[in-house]
Amino acid sequence: MHTLEQLRRGDYQGATHLKLSEQLSEFPKEIYTLADTLEVLDLSDNQLTELPSDFACLTKLRIFFASNNPFEQVPEVLGQMPELEMIGFKSCQIKTVSEHCLPACTRWLILTDNQIAALPDAIGRLTRLEKLMLAGNAIRELPHTFANLTNLRLLRLAANQLEAFPEILLTLPQLAWLAFSGNPFCAPRDEHSDFTQVAAVDLALHEVLGQGASGLISRATWTHNGNGLADDVAVKVYKGGITSDGYPQDELDACLTVGAHENLVKPLAHIHEPDCAALLMALIPADYHNLGQPPSLVSCTRDTFTQGQSFSAEQADFIIAQMRAVVAHLENKQVSHGDLYAHNVLINQDSHILFGDFGAASKYHHLTPAQQAGIRRMERRALAYFEEDILGLVTH
């Protein structure tokens, strides 16, 4: 973290990255002293409501984050910045996205958890757009110009006000990772009476095993367990509110709908109480580790991998065969994972994989046959990207 005082002293001359979070209510003009070099600016977690009209003098700026600020509209000045590729306004108070506020070179746009009811027709000018995060808004329909987004690969539309599945998405040739649960057109959540329901008081939580956007995973002891299942389990306690992918309740619903498979983290039971929603899962053996790493600011929608990571051709074929079996299982259950990535896969020394993280999953059994087929095509594109990544790690 940087400080405004150090910026004023000139400590950051020549800096390419700057992050300021000091409850700022006005844009610090001292940032302009870095105009010749600044490429990444993060002003998240402040009290800003606007940007000055001369903000565009930051001509080298490629990435701008302003999440958790009380902006009510995306600042118009951003549309004048020809190098700006990544823009983030998560959890602000944005109601308006005007026709001229987004630069044509935008590749990655984050507008999660705002109050946006409509997107401008000008969104269709963003032909370089690859990743679009819109979960947790009030969008009722997509503009017809969405058809121009031929490079769009990842889209989050969950937790909006869409009355019908947007048919226009089926025309996008590269869309591979889609989340749309939690809209009025979606099927209601299932009660999952086929799974044991557990009382929260019957779990003793121990150490934290992991944390994601939707909740905290801990090791737990299941007391009063009369179901013949393991007493030592993992428990994911879901947070309230919106994540970047949608509602945590939809994640829980999708996990239980999909059920068990040898290459999925095994669901055992769930908690469904007014102040607690949680999923009990089988503990993952300690020898499993992440297959991939999340996309970087540069790779945008494609996974990254650790330096030197490699597989033999036989290992790669085995990994791919397992993932194909998982996708076939998901199709049988009519659930789209929406986030089929290597970074959501665990692997052990025998190349056995466990796939998880259903935060972007969506049920689609209620849609038309043509829509269902289109969603399966998207998921198969994600599978093709996954296979390409794995085969790219093969040593000869």
pLDDT in tens, 362-380: 999 999 999 999 999 999 9
The answer to whether residues 1 and 110 belong to one domain is: yes
CA 296 to chain centre: 13
Residue 265, domain extent: 196-282
Residue 191 domain flag: no
Planar angle of CA 128, 367, 270, nearest 5 degrees: 95
- Is 168 inside a domain boundary? no
Asked if 141 and 166 touch (Cβ cutoff 8 Å), the reply is: yes
Residues 39 and 126: their CA atoms lie apart, in Å, by 20
Position 305 in a domain: yes
Do both 207 and 293 map to the same domain?
no
Same-domain check for residues 268 and 304: no
Position 271 confidence tier, pLDDT thresholds 50, 70, 90? confident
Mean per-residue pLDDT, 151-170: 98
Is residue 265 situated within a structural domain?
Answer: yes
Same-domain pairing of 275 and 310 = no
Q: Establish if 180 belongs to a structural domain.
A: no
Rounded percentage of the chain residues whose pLDDT exceeds 70 = 98
Residue finishing a domain among 282, 312, 347: 282
Give the whole-angstrom CA distance, residue 190 versus residue 342: 28
CATH of residue 226? 3.30.200.20
Question: Which of 118, 152, 186 finishes a domain?
Answer: 152
Provide the pairing of β-strand 289-290 with 345-347.
antiparallel
Give the domain CATH number at 107.
3.80.10.10
Query: Binning pLDDT at 50, 70 and 90, where does residue 227 land?
Result: low
Same domain, 251 and 381: no
Position 359 pLDDT exceeds 70: yes
Q: Looking at residue 312, which CATH number applies to its domain?
A: 1.10.510.10
Asked if residue 329 is part of any domain, the answer here is yes
Number of domains observed in the structure of the chain: 3
Domain check: are 277 and 304 in the same one?
A: no
Residues 270 and 317 grouped into a single domain:
no
**Model confidence band, residue 194 (pLDDT cutoffs 50, 70, 90):** confident
Residue 396 has pLDDT above 80, yes or no: no
Q: Do 371 and 295 share a structural domain?
A: yes
pLDDT at 266 over 80: yes
Residues 29 and 131 in one domain: yes
**146 shares its domain with 2:** yes
Note whether 214 and 341 are same-domain residues: no
* pLDDT tens-digit series, residues 276-327: 888 999 999 999 999 999 999 889 999 999 999 999 999 999 999 999 999 9
| Residue 222: predicted pLDDT | 84
Lowest mean pLDDT among 122-136, 170-184, 196-210, 313-327: 196-210
Are 276 and 345 in a shared domain?
Answer: no
End residue of a domain, out of 282, 317, 335: 282
Specify the pLDDT at position 212. Answer: 78
pLDDT of 226 above 80: no
Instruction: Look at residue 230 and tell me whether its pLDDT is greater than 70.
Output: no
The answer as to whether 159 is a domain residue is no
Q: 60: annotated binding-site residue?
A: no
Confidence of residue 229 (pLDDT cuts 50, 70, 90): low
Per-residue model confidence (pLDDT) at position 80 = 96
The closest of 339, 329, 341 to 291, measured between CA atoms, is 341
pTM to 2 decimals? Answer: 0.94
**Domain-located, residue 309:** yes
Average pLDDT over residues 242-251: 92
Q: What is the H or E stretch that residue 391 is in?
A: helix 369-391
* Chain segment 66-116, per-residue pLDDT in tens: 999 999 999 999 999 999 999 999 999 999 999 999 999 999 999 999 999
